[in-house]
Chains A and B, each alone.
Chain A
Amino acid sequence: MDQILLNIAFWFGIYAIVSISLNIEYGLAGIPNFGKALAVLFGAFTVGGIVNRFFIAIYGIQGEIIDSSAELKTILNQRIAEDPAFGIFLLLLCLSLSAIVGAVVGALAILPSARLSRDYLAITLLAISEVSFMVFNYNTSLGGGYYGISVPDVFAFYGGNRQLLFTILSLSVLALVYIIAERLSNSPFGRLLRAMREDEEVVKAFGRNLMVLRIKASAIASSIAAISGALFSLFTANFIASNFTRVEWTFYPFLILLLGGAGNNKGVLLGTLVLVTTKQLLMVYKHEIVELLMIPFETVWLEYIAFGFLMLLVLFYKPEGLIKEKPVIIKRVRDEKG
């Protein structure tokens, strides 16, 4: 039972970060990023493919990335066990570097379609994300392909339950991201993004460049999403591209957002809690479900059908989500009213 709660808490942190990032992009700026998984993939790749390579070069380890990463993991785990400060340094390095990589990838991915209408945006972002996923999945020398590459355990100095530490970590990062997202959404920039979502022509008429606004929003959001990818990779202590599917990292964040209520971060938290809890329970009672319903197939397919259907229900009956977006009233207006 404790393990289930811990699982829910950990995944709540990870998914809430991705969904808040999607909220900035879609909820505020109205960019339908159907390639959300791309930034998460690159965040995770930063840990496994970039930071690893950096240390492999420092230690002068030879060989293919898969083998040398395994060797590096042994060396670094030992070093972290002796010197906790190094582990923390590695953690911060991974998180900050993935944020930078995420921002660059987000800005680049939206570039070809940034000046076009929303359907073109959605199609192009989805296509870029799918093709990148495929390349990372097949290419073993880039990021280990389907074999994956090992990642050092940044908490190797801790003897107890490492998931507890990672849960605390993911929830603290979430708290930080939440505060940043709230401030952003109430800032002049956030209001500008909302205005763009409601009416692009008005924003253009006020002399703002839609393309620049979209690139900025996407860069900020992708940078946040990449952090959750990095956390995921550090937690599982490996990087395997096949973990970053469109269903898990694009569709589920959209479901969370629409279920909770697009445009407001409290709704995102509620939506995340509902989805993550359902998913964990499905996982725990997998065998019972198969036996009870006597279905001749794996529960993952049932999960897809159920969550696809849930999305349609939300679109039909609760398009504004469980918690509706409230109009933003800035302090000066509130003072004058009151």
Chain B
Amino acid sequence: MLLEGTLVYSNLIALLSLGLTLTYITTSVPNFAHGSLAVFGSYLALIFLYLFNIHPYIALPMVFLICGLVGVLCYLLILRPLIKRGASVVILMIATLALDLMLLGFIGAISDAIEKTTSKSAKKFIFTIYDFEIFGISGIFFVSTAIMLATLFLLWLLLFKTKFGIALRASMENPNLAEVMGVDVEKTRLFSWFLSSALAGLAGTLLPFKQEIVPLTGGLIIVSIFSASIVGGLASVLGAIFGGYLIGISESLVTYWLSMFIGPEVLLYSKVIPLTALIIALLLMPQGIVEGLRKWIKSFST
């Protein structure tokens, strides 16, 4: 039961940190709106459920598409014009912070409007009662794991088996050089924003099966996402997935373990764990765990 919840949570954090890292690699801006985008996905799923009676699992493809389009629009309408004007990374970060606030405003407005029209609770909701069970294991465990595996497989196919993947990897390694060699950097950016936001939408749809959602959830979950990405090195796809599982597992297990010694109130402070991991990572290996380990192993071999 504990292990199951831990894995579900880790799957979702890994999906989110993977998306954050993708846009960071292509656009070199940490997207501060990523958490809110996921919660936006949660609310889309809630709309599908309350207003159209569509089960969240069935709504996954639609949330995937809508969130992906929102991400593309954010890039096209906000980030691309700013990059064209030569805005610094800090200005781009502030822009995503503004985007985060606008998304929070929309999410809040949606939650109020849902409550008014359906008179069901939308300021705080959870999907666990809509979940199914196989052999005593909750459906969310299978669904989140399947989505994670499918994402990894498709991403691998795309990155290593297609021409577009080569272009994508080239612009990840060195955007300027890739552009000179005729790679359409613009296309890779558009693609990364679509995929990143669409994955955030998926994670957002699945998150209510694991924990309660309120409009402000995005502001808190961003701590775990950033920690996972930074532990992974912020610019490494493999690192992001690794970091996602490391943060997800430690956040769940360490808080659980501490709660046995200190008491259940520790569960409220679970976000202290990813923050601690983030700080340790910055102090010991700011280049990320994948790079860090590689260097560490190298130091033995030479």
B67 interface contact, C-beta 8 A: no
Task: Indicate if B97 sits at the interface (CB-CB under 8 A).
Answer: yes
Contact B105 A119, beta carbon cutoff 8 Å: no
Question: How many angstroms between the C-alpha atoms of A65 and B185 in the bound complex?
Answer: 58
Q: Is B272 an interface residue (CB 8 A)?
A: yes
Beyond A131-B275, A246-B219, A295-B109, whether A120 also contacts B282 by CB under 8 A is yes
Contact B99 A126 (CB under 8 A): no
Q: A32-B93, A123-B30, A127-B278 are in contact. Are A316 and B81 (CB under 8 A)?
A: yes
A251 within 8 A of B: yes
In the complex, what distance in Å separates the CA atom of A280 from the CA atom of B100? 23
Contact A312 B78 (CB under 8 A): yes
Of the candidates B81, B95, B104, B271, the one whose C-beta lies within 8 Å of that of A304 is: B104
Across-interface contacts of B30 in A (CB, < 8 A) = 119, 122-123
Residue in A116, A302, A319 with the greatest tally of chain B CB atoms within 10 Å:
A319
A309:B102 contact, CB within 8 angstroms = yes
A296's partner among B90, B97, B112, B219 (CB-CB below 8 A) is B112
Contact of B271 among A120, A130, A302 (CB under 8 A): A130
B116 in the interface (beta carbon within 8 A): yes
Q: Is B89 an interface residue (CB 8 A)?
A: yes
Shortest C-beta distance, B271 to chain A (Å), equals 5
Q: Pick the contact of A298 from B90, B102, B112 — CB < 8 Å?
A: B112
The answer to whether B97 and A254 have CB atoms under 8 Å apart is: yes
Note all chain B residues with C-beta closer than 8 A to A130: 219-220, 222-223, 271
CB-contacts of A101-115 with B (<8 A): 112-113
8 Å CB contacts to A: which residues of B191-234?
219-220, 222-223, 226-227, 230, 234
Contact between A258 and B94, CB atoms less than 8 A apart: yes
Per-residue 0/1 for A278-321: is the Cβ within 8 Å of any B Cβ (1 yes, 0 no)? 00000000000000000111101111111111011001100100
Mask of B124-161 contacts with A, CB within 8 angstroms, 1/0: 00000000000000000000000000000000000000
A-contact 0/1 string along B91-121, CB 8 Å cutoff: 1011101111110111011011100110000
Is the C-beta of B2 less than 8 angstroms from some C-beta in chain A?
A: no
Binary B-proximity of A105-147 (CB < 8 A = 1, otherwise 0): 0000000110010111011101110110011001100000000
A315 contacts B89, CB within 8 Å?
A: no
Total contacts A-B at CB 8 Å: 138
Q: How many residues of B contact A (CB 8 A)?
A: 50
Give the CA-CA distance A118 to B28 in the complex, in Å: 12
Chain B nearest CB, measured from A83 CB (Å): 41
Q: Are B101 and A308 in contact (CB under 8 A)?
A: yes
Tell yes or no: B47 within 8 A of A by CB: no
Report yes or no: A123 in contact with B108, Cβ–Cβ below 8 A: no
Contact of B275 among A116, A127, A254, A300 (CB under 8 A): A127
Known: A116-B286, A247-B101, A302-B109. A254 touches B116 (CB 8 A): no
The answer for the CA separation of A301 and B97 in the assembled complex, in Å, is 16
Closest to A119 in B: B30
Cβ contact within 8 Å between B109 and A297: yes
A sample of 12 inter-chain contacts (CB < 8 A) reads A119-B234, A120-B230, A123-B226, A126-B226, A127-B226, A127-B275, A130-B223, A138-B265, A295-B109, A297-B108, A308-B102, A315-B94
Residues of A within 8 A of B (CB): 30, 32, 34, 112-113, 116, 118-120, 122-124, 126-128, 130-131, 134-135, 138-139, 246-247, 251, 254, 258, 295-298, 300-309, 311-312, 315-316, 319
